[in-house]
Amino acid sequence: MYSADHLNLSRRRFLRQGAFTTAALGLNLLLPPWARSGAASNLGGIRPLSGNVFDLSVDKAPCTIDGRGGQGILVNGQLPAPLLRWREGETVTLRVTNRLAVDTSIHWHGILLPFQMDGVPGVTFPGIRPGETFVYEFPLKQAGTYWYHSHSGLQEQSGHYGPLIIEPQGVDPDVVDREYVILLSDWTFEDPHRVFAKLKKMPDNYNFQRRTAGEFFRDSRERGLGNTVDDRLMWGAMRMNAADIADVTGATYTYLINGHGPQDNWTGLFNSGERVRLRFINASAMSIFNVRIPGLPLSIVQADGLPVAPVETDEFQIGVAETFDVIVQPRDRAYTLMAESNDRYGYARATLAPREGLSAEVPALRPRPTLTMKDMAMDHGEHSGMNQSGMDHSGMDHSGMDHAAMGHGMDHGNGTERQQHKHAKGPGVVGLAMNPANRLSERPLGLQDADHRVLVYTDLQAREKNPDVRPPQRELELHLTSNMERYMWSFDGLKFSEVDEPIKLYKGERVRLTLVNDTMMPHPIHLHGMFFEVVTNEGDFKPRKHTIVVKPGEKLSVDITADAIGDWAFHCHLLYHMHAGMMRVVSVLDEPAPL
């Protein structure tokens, strides 16, 4: 029906028109899998733009969330921003016009590019002034699922984010019949600056799942009065809240899939038996999701855009800014795609169905998880200090590292050493991890007891051998620090506003960055410009990522090859944490490391 000449036009019109029948789904097979995304009549996929040259305009624009009108800061008037389809090996040009009254920017998340095109005001360029058009231009050296978003102020919270997909130059190893972008995000009708202001005034403002007297009595019945009193006294002594799972919650957020709230019920259609690729992107400001599709095993094939050895699971957690490509093979029925916020106060939901108008049961929200001793890094049980499970130090070349100088206080002899904290400890720092442990093989908070498979980081293995398998020459340690009572977030006890110096890396060097989470919250830590290998083992197929969620009380390492000269942002991808100061600049200097 569609000739090749008309293909491009036809598929775009097709996507826009929406409503179609199973018969149309058949005709649809003439299209490449991504154009076969299709759309239910009310919803539709995210409108794609493809080619080499793109015109993007940033402006305030109305949007509708679950039937309620709001105003966002949107790209081309869309929430989310247009799906950009690029092709590996080509050079793209993006003309971004700022129609706001304030500066804006677009950062291409996870894209390897010249740093001056990275789009972080104050680090890689001055920002885009009101009325100005900035032209980004860079070659594409990778393929996979990524996204883009504002790096100015809190604009990201207002809808300034969108998916981008780079098609591989060769044959896509993951053959599918159909694909959808599943872009998760959190929307608030409040002014994001007001949200931040409230967190500064009353840090538990959005937490409506605090521990109550009722919970005390319930715990007393279940675990005994003595234990419950001890537990409450322990948390009280530290002035920490075991129910502090998320700072900003469903009390103000509506969780979205492809810009649609749970009532909208975004629906993706498929033909029974098809292999469907779901490109999950967590574009939230603050929300970590646990994702499952009851009845469907999920085959994870990509993490943060790069192929991983396929691993099957039933549920996975996606931190802010992470992406996962998942292949499913649904049968002739409807499925609910359930993305629970990690504090279980709300959810995003979509439907996968063979026909329009179908839906499946939406599972009830599971109970709010509670932080444990281990999250405080005070567990004295099986893990002790640096004797990290799943980590084999024997194959590692320690010769180039002076552990004493790095302040590790590592004592491989008896395993009773405590974590050192040679960083600033001012009003912004509460709680120091005494015995942080490598938790890469552990399930995320709240999923420990799920009676099905749950993805853990050690399940991920790069499909291709790591491009640089040299052992690290140098080790850096950085602590994730906070004081929830003052809503202060920092690295090494210092906010970005308090430091003058970047973290310096030298051209070509191989660095092991160890992150110690002294806080009670998981932090998705993101490095611009370079992927890092997550040290899940000492092999040559470590998963490569641009964002890693560091669990509370965790100490983990990532290896970085400093091959991208320039200045790069490095930060917690929880937007208000970054805004509060949990950020650094990493400068890769065009000079060899000093001896």
| C-beta closer to another protein: residue 318 or 430 | 430
| C-beta closer to another protein: residue 187 or 496 | 496
* Residues contacting 56, CB < 8 A, separation 6+: 75, 76, 81, 82, 94, 95, 96, 97, 106
Distance CA 117, CA 112 (A): 10
Q: Is residue 346 within the footprint of another protein (CB under 8 A)?
A: no
Q: Is residue 90 within the footprint of another protein (CB under 8 A)?
A: no
Is the separation of the CB atoms in 254 and 347 below 8 Å? no
Long-range Cβ contacts of 68-74 (<8 Å, 24+ apart): 68/189, 70/187, 70/189, 71/158, 72/158, 72/159, 72/160, 73/100, 73/104, 73/150, 73/155, 73/158, 73/159, 73/160, 74/158, 74/159, 74/160
Which residues in the 359-418 window bind another protein by CB under 8 A? 405-407
| C-beta closer to another protein: residue 269 or 564 | 564
Task: Candidates 182-190, 194-202, 311-319, 388-396: pick the segment binding another protein (CB under 8 A).
Answer: 194-202
Which residues in the 26-55 window bind another protein by CB under 8 A? none
Instruction: Pick from 238, 309, 373, 396 the residue near another protein by CB under 8 A.
Output: 238
* Least distance (Å) between residue 566 CB and another protein: 5
Instruction: Pick from 218, 239, 380, 452 the residue near another protein by CB under 8 A.
Output: 239
Instruction: Pick from 28, 155, 483, 536 the residue near another protein by CB under 8 A.
Output: 483
| Cα→Cα distances 522→271, 286, 356, Å | 38, 11, 38
Q: Give the CA count within 13 Å in the CB-facing half-sphere of 17.
A: 11
Number of residues in contact with another protein under rule CB under 8 A: 75
Distance CA 219, CA 222 (A): 5
Which residues in the 273-302 window bind another protein by CB under 8 A? none
* Least distance (Å) between residue 407 CB and another protein: 6
Per-residue tokens: 120: 């972080």
In a 3-state reduction of DSSP, which class is residue 59?
A: strand
| C-beta closer to another protein: residue 204 or 417 | 204
Instruction: Pick from 6, 13, 68, 210 the residue near another protein by CB under 8 A.
Output: 210
* Least distance (Å) between residue 497 CB and another protein: 4
Closest CA to 286 of 247, 242, 340: 247
Instruction: Pick from 4, 171, 237, 364 the residue near another protein by CB under 8 A.
Output: 237
Instruction: Pick from 358, 379, 494, 539 the residue near another protein by CB under 8 A.
Output: 494
Which residues in the 100-159 window bind another protein by CB under 8 A? 115-116, 121-127, 153
* Residues contacting 223, CB < 8 A, separation 6+: 231
* Residues contacting 140, CB < 8 A, separation 6+: 86, 87, 88, 89, 90, 91, 92, 111, 166
Q: Is residue 472 within the footprint of another protein (CB under 8 A)?
A: no
Q: Is residue 574 within the footprint of another protein (CB under 8 A)?
A: no
Instruction: Pick from 309, 378, 469, 476 the residue near another protein by CB under 8 A.
Output: 476
Instruction: Pick from 16, 422, 465, 470 the residue near another protein by CB under 8 A.
Output: 422
In a 3-state reduction of DSSP, which class is residue 261?
A: coil
| C-beta closer to another protein: residue 208 or 452 | 208
3-state secondary structure 181-240: EEEEEEEECCCHHHHHHHHHHCCCCCCCCCCCHHHHHHHHHHHCHHHHHHHHHHHHHHCC
* Least distance (Å) between residue 219 CB and another protein: 14
Cis amide prior to 80 (ω within 30 degrees): yes
Per-residue tokens: 381: 């049980």
Q: Is residue 429 within the footprint of another protein (CB under 8 A)?
A: yes
* Least distance (Å) between residue 238 CB and another protein: 8
| C-beta closer to another protein: residue 327 or 429 | 429
Instruction: Pick from 11, 160, 495, 526 the residue near another protein by CB under 8 A.
Output: 495
Query: DSSP letter at 94?
Result: E
| C-beta closer to another protein: residue 64 or 212 | 212
Q: Is residue 358 within the footprint of another protein (CB under 8 A)?
A: no
| C-beta closer to another protein: residue 426 or 467 | 426
Which residues in the 529-568 window bind another protein by CB under 8 A? 565-567
Closest CA to 278 of 302, 259, 247: 302
Q: Is residue 519 within the footprint of another protein (CB under 8 A)?
A: no
* Least distance (Å) between residue 485 CB and another protein: 6
Per-residue tokens: 577: 């944490």
| C-beta closer to another protein: residue 58 or 429 | 429
Distance CA 558, CA 49 (A): 35
Which strands form 583-589's sheet, in the order they lie side by side?
Answer: 503-506, 583-589, 566-572, 523-527, 547-550
Instruction: Pick from 174, 244, 343, 492 the residue near another protein by CB under 8 A.
Output: 492
* Residues forming a β-bridge with 256: 185
* Least distance (Å) between residue 221 CB and another protein: 17
Query: DSSP letter at 260?
Result: B
